[in-house]
Amino acid sequence: MLVAGLSLALGSCDREAANPAQEQGALAGAKQSLVGEIDTARAGELLPAMNVTDLGGKVLNLGALQGQPVLLNVWATYCAPCVVEMPMLDDLADDLDGKVRVLTVSQDLQGGEVVAPFFAKMNFRNLEPWMETNGELGFALASGVLPTTVLYDSSGQEVWRVVGDYDWSGAEAREAILAAVENTG
């Protein structure tokens, strides 16, 4: 039953909008409506040992990221809240200055065909265009909602997550990340 529910939820995320993603200028006021909350209910779960790829075909096994805290964001170019979050996550990665690796993984079915132009247009300084086009990462995280962002400690265990949109530009986000990193090593 849970798998069927997740399949339906994730399946609805795969239907891309007919219109392209909104321009960032049009989304400036959208930050005010970001309502996601930090949730610790799944704390202790391990970072999935799944492969993601970049635009050049380089493979990264998420399970091999132990040793440094990771903020994993699962997103898509057709997801308006995801598009709002991406510049905030880029700035957050800059602010965290290596204390936490901010890793964004696109769930776009078209992979690099849509991710490459998006990254070129946005000109991110800190984010890399990682992709997992089968939707398996959403299932592994037990979340059919985009965006989903999970903080893992340096041993690869979940500390907390945000399902849905969140204001990553605020002091609350930085404080929650840094407090978790300091408390877990």
The predicted-structure confidence for 111-161, as pLDDT tens digits, reads as follows 999 999 999 999 999 999 999 999 999 999 999 899 999 999 999 999 999
For the chain, state the CA radius of gyration: 15
DSSP state for residue 27 in the 8-state scheme: H
The CB density around residue 136, as the number of other CB atoms within 10 Å, is 14
Arithmetic mean of pLDDT, 29-44: 78
What burial class does residue 101 get, using C-beta atoms within 10 Å of its C-beta: 0-12 exposed, 13-18 middle, 19+ buried? middle
Q: Out of 102-106, 167-171, 180-184, pick the least confident.
A: 180-184
Beta bridge partners of 148: 74, 163
Report residue 183's pLDDT band, with 50, 70 and 90 as the boundaries: confident
pLDDT digits (tens, 9 = 90+) for 44-67: 999 999 999 999 999 999 999 989
